[in-house]
Structure 1
């Protein structure tokens, strides 16, 4: 890769929310992007346009992170883009961002709900990363998305929070096992953020918003812009000595 060629990042779940902002922040840092979407193709195409307006290349591909059966085809599509659009370059960063929120009491959580959380938040990123390893440059950065709910607990998030704790642990193991290739692996753990995630309750329910803000050292809940810049930092050489870490980005929630 020539010195003036942009680095390339693959980010899952880039059509909205934190994924969209992270993609735009990566573009501002000089990355070209491949983003994924599950159903929101038009929204993903709009993000591609915004990235191109920044001056970087971007492509959007469909991906169902909950089903490993489609991963081989997806990896083939990524390789085709790298070969045809980037002269056989490889990826320099992978951001495992795609996910969904769910609120279900422990006593009523079904096996189907737990399986869904496992597939989307742990099994999917686990095996997608594994299959993408041949397309990652040595010295790449992997950022896995955890959650503040892996540190503090709210009723109704036992399945989600437990999976995110697993992501934190996985990230440390990946860092150890991929260290021989100088691939860094960290997890980013957002606190409460004003997005449509989980039905948008943090953004749209005033009492919840105020309560969360009151327990945050900086006196407000988070915005997507608070997260994307940290993801971009962790993908860049600016963070070259940060590895095997859980970075909580919550404004000091319940500090």
Structure 2
């Protein structure tokens, strides 16, 4: 077991669950590279918070839906690793970047579908592929799914289909990367009070009540329910968990 500082790369780390995971990892002594799409100031604020904990952090811009940009992004990661850490590898990849589109099946357009494919499925597939040379042997990858891949909520057919694809992809990645000691798992949050999907669970009292009523623990999820779990899951104590889907939802729709 190495005593070298671990480094995590989190996509979509400027807000929501990605931000919470970044801060939780820092609390566990992990340094962080986090990506943002357009909100540079929010990403910089997360770096400031991480540095206040005595850890190192850096930000990089990433359009997770533009696979043509991934080669340049990987080069930027390599340059950042060398400049900030004097390293050529990082240890943990959290594929968190994403958007939500709520639209009935009959009204979902091809453009909506393609946007979800590009960010959630194609993006995760090819970004991870491009970053493989930079991930240390013995590292770990977490792909974000959703409870919606297990249960059905009208209006999320396209989004949930992408997350179903992620769950299958995770198992294949775990099998094919196992020879390098890289484990790959899926974390599937339930409904969380963030600005995801326009902040409906956080800001709409009726939606929040419905989620709470359907959840065994009696409330909607919070970012603090997810980030620390991801951070702990990447730890050495979970080294023998591989190719699995772990739902973190408080027991919704059981």
* C-alpha distance in structure 2 between counterparts of 1:160 and 1:70, whole Å: 23
Q: After TM superposition, where is structure 1 displaced by more than 3 Å over at least 4 residues in a row?
A: none
CA shift, 1:142, in A, is 0.0
* C-alpha distance in structure 1 between counterparts of 2:201 and 2:83, whole Å: 42
1:196 and 2:192 matched: no
Q: Is the 8 A contact 2:78 2:88 kept in 1?
A: no
Q: Which stretch shifts more, 115-124 or 232-241?
A: 232-241
Aligned length: 254
- Give the aligned partner of residue 58 of structure 1: 57
- Give the aligned partner of residue 76 of structure 2: 77
- Give the aligned partner of residue 207 of structure 1: 206
* C-alpha distance in structure 2 between counterparts of 1:54 and 1:233, whole Å: 17
- Give the aligned partner of residue 134 of structure 1: 133
* Structure 1 segment 111-122 matched on structure 2, within 5 A: 111-122=110-121
Structure 1 residue runs without a partner (length 5+): none
* C-alpha distance in structure 2 between counterparts of 1:89 and 1:75, whole Å: 11
Q: Spell out, residue by residue over 1:132-173, the C-alpha distance to the aligned partner (whole angstroms, 9 max, x if none).
A: 000011010000000000001111100000000100110000
- Give the aligned partner of residue 240 of structure 2: 241
TM-score (norm 1): 0.98
* C-alpha distance in structure 2 between counterparts of 1:228 and 1:217, whole Å: 20
The root-mean-square deviation of aligned C-alpha atoms, in Å, is 1.0
**SS of residue in 1 equivalent to 2:42:** helix
- Give the aligned partner of residue 25 of structure 1: 24
* C-alpha distance in structure 1 between counterparts of 2:124 and 2:89, whole Å: 19
* C-alpha distance in structure 2 between counterparts of 1:185 and 1:18, whole Å: 19
* C-alpha distance in structure 2 between counterparts of 1:189 and 1:70, whole Å: 27
